[in-house]
Chain A
Amino acid sequence: MKLITVAGPPSSGKTAVITRLAENLDERLGVIKFDCLTTFDKERYEEAGIPVEVGFSGKFCPDHFFVNNVEDGVTWGLDRELDYLITESAGLCNRCSPHIVGITSVCVVDCLSGVHTPRKIGPMLKFADIVVVTKGDIVSQAEREVFAWSVRQANGEAQILFVNGITGQGAFMLAKLVSGACSVTTLNNTRLRFTTPAAACSYCTGEIRIGESFQMGMMRKIDFDSGGLHD
């Protein structure tokens, strides 16, 4: 079974891209959707006849939640004899990425999100093997090029691909690219491409009151005088 991690900001078109990808692969593809609170994508996948499992992180850090569950997800996919397993996760907090060393990784961004967005998104774009740019049909060729250049600035090595989630244009090229993904039987001992954020503080355990006396554990403070980050 080939595993592919797909990440991207909310509403960038991840589900549309994955559905289009499934249409272009003749093999069995299943999806695990990682989300925080709610998702409307389960029905969309089911309508398309794609096996789907949804995991809500709820009050847990979505990144930690992903890492804690992805291996069981692989077992789920193997049990269903999938040829392709896709993990779909939203941008989480822009600080993180679900990408794993040796596992084909895709980042989905949309052209309308602003020219500097690719440089702001961080590791989920920076460490992706393939960057899929959506909604390119509503901007000019010139603007697509400028956007792609901005992606290139943040990630010099990725394959950049324009996919139209509505018509599916470009999706078959994505299918070609991911067909070269490595097969996995387990993720045991594999590594994330980037660390997840560290926090073990009172707010992790449900504190909601604001103020110095409620802040316990690992904390980080802005040094407002010098305008930088300091411990």
Chain B
Amino acid sequence: MTDNFIQVIASRTVGELLTDYPVAYDFFQNLNLPPLPPNKPLEDALFVVSDDWLEEFGLRRFEIPDQLAAFLRTMTATDVLRTVAMLTIIGGQDKDGNPENAELVLKPGSVAAVVGPTGSGKSRLLADIECLAQGDTPTRRRVLIDGTEADEETRFQMEGKLIAQLSQNMNFVMDISVAEFLGMHMRSRSRGGEKWLIQECFECANNLAGEKFTLSTKVTQLSGGQSRALMIADCAYISTSPIVLIDEIENAGVDRRRAVDILVKREKIVLISTHDPLLALGADLRVVIRNGGIFKVLETSEREKASLHEIEKIDMLLSNARAKLRSGERLED
């Protein structure tokens, strides 16, 4: 692959290279090179740069084309969109070392709720999944993808692209706009060409958030709810991770049930750690955590699903009341 790029770089002018691989701009910028003549091949073009300059930045002239080739190879590597047909969690032990005796199997398009008291170990379970534990975390759990243990490569896969995680205490810290952020994220996933995705993802996020924002809003200026909405929409449209772990997204000014629906529709395996009855009963499966271990795995029963409607009514009542209060109305009827 690199060899191909070496040929490409040797056979084109700098201008052609930049047209064909716009990301090469970043490379020249990283090296702090002065503007190169666009009508010459890189090797010749580099002669406008003095030896002193190169030495200053610790560069050697003959290495630059090779470095560019390696850079282009890394930057243009397409994401292998791995699908996961089955996620299996094999129990280990609780905080006292008692065996868990549990095996959990999750499939795409299904939602599992993780419930239990604060501090019981819900986040630990999500963490085990995130790092594809192989009996080497304190819980000794093992996590299998499609029935097999993940190899080192998959586990160390840099951005953990297999699994996306969202939590209540996550914020945006980068000083860029929503459009720039989505654009950069798409480029990092080698999907820079699919410009329409930005719009689609943005609209989805705006539908989930209580208050509207624009593409030019800075991500750091988004409210908690808007941030969460953008993160969820990003998970659905851009991340393409087949497994999504959600740690407590209640009370954040975001339509949480619709958020989960969106993820399920994209055929993801979703685990939600929650205290919210609506989310817990909306899931297909309920994993009850106690003292750091999986205490029970319950399937949501038909009767529970029926009671869900009652809880929905109460929830609706509360949301309506909230909406009225927010818009300055009285709650007298």
Cα–Cα, bound, A111→B155 (Å)? 20
Tell which of B29, B164, B171 touches A141, judged by Cβ atoms closer than 8 Å.
B164
In the assembled complex, B119 has its CB within 8 A of some CB on chain A: no
Q: Chain B interface: which size bin?
A: 35 or more
| B residues in contact with A195, CB < 8 Å | 58
Does any Cβ of B come within 8 Å of A149's Cβ? yes
Task: Looking at the assembled complex, report how far the CB atom of A151 sits from the nearest CB atom of chain B, in whole angstroms.
Answer: 8
Contact status A228-B185, CB under 8 Å = no
Partner of A146, one of B27, B130, B174: B174
Which has the most chain B C-beta neighbours within 10 Å: A123, A144, A231? A144
Inter-chain contact B56/A229, CB cutoff 8 Å = yes
> Would A160 and B74 be within 8 Å (CB), given that A140-B231, A145-B189 are in contact?
no
A148, B159: Cβ atoms closer than 8 Å: yes
Q: Does A115 contact B (CB under 8 A)?
A: yes
Contact A141:B155 (CB < 8 A) given known A114-B174, A148-B188, A170-B131 = no
Are B30 and A142 closer than 8 Å at their CB atoms? no
Task: Point out residues on B near A: beta carbons under 8 Å.
Answer: 26-27, 29-30, 34, 52-53, 56, 58, 70-71, 73-75, 127, 130-131, 136-137, 152, 155-156, 158-161, 164-167, 169-176, 181, 184-185, 187-189, 227, 231, 234-235, 238-239, 241
User: Does the CB pair A145–B175 fall under 8 Å?
Assistant: no
20 A–B contacts from the bound complex (CB under 8 Å) = A115-B175, A123-B58, A140-B172, A141-B234, A142-B234, A143-B173, A145-B188, A146-B181, A146-B185, A153-B27, A156-B74, A159-B158, A160-B159, A169-B127, A169-B130, A170-B131, A172-B137, A229-B53, A229-B56, A231-B52
**A159 CA to B161 CA, complexed, in Å:** 14
B232 and chain A: residue at smallest CB distance: A140
Q: List, in ascending order, chain A residues with CB within 8 A of B152's CB.
A: 176
A119 at the interface (CB under 8 A from B): yes
Q: Separation in Å of the B128 CB from the closest CB of chain A?
A: 10
B131 A146 Cβ-Cβ under 8 A: no
Cα–Cα distance between A228 and B241 once the two chains are bound (Å) = 45
- Interchain nearest-CB distance for A229 vs B (Å): 6
How far is the CB of B199 from the nearest CB of chain A, in Å?
17
Q: CA separation between A154 and B52, bound complex, in Å?
A: 22
* CB-based closest 3 A-B pairs: A149-B188, A156-B74, A160-B158
Extra contacts, 11 of them, besides A137-B167, A140-B166, A153-B27 (Cβ < 8 A), are A138-B171, A139-B170, A139-B171, A140-B234, A141-B231, A145-B239, A169-B131, A170-B131, A176-B152, A194-B58, A229-B53
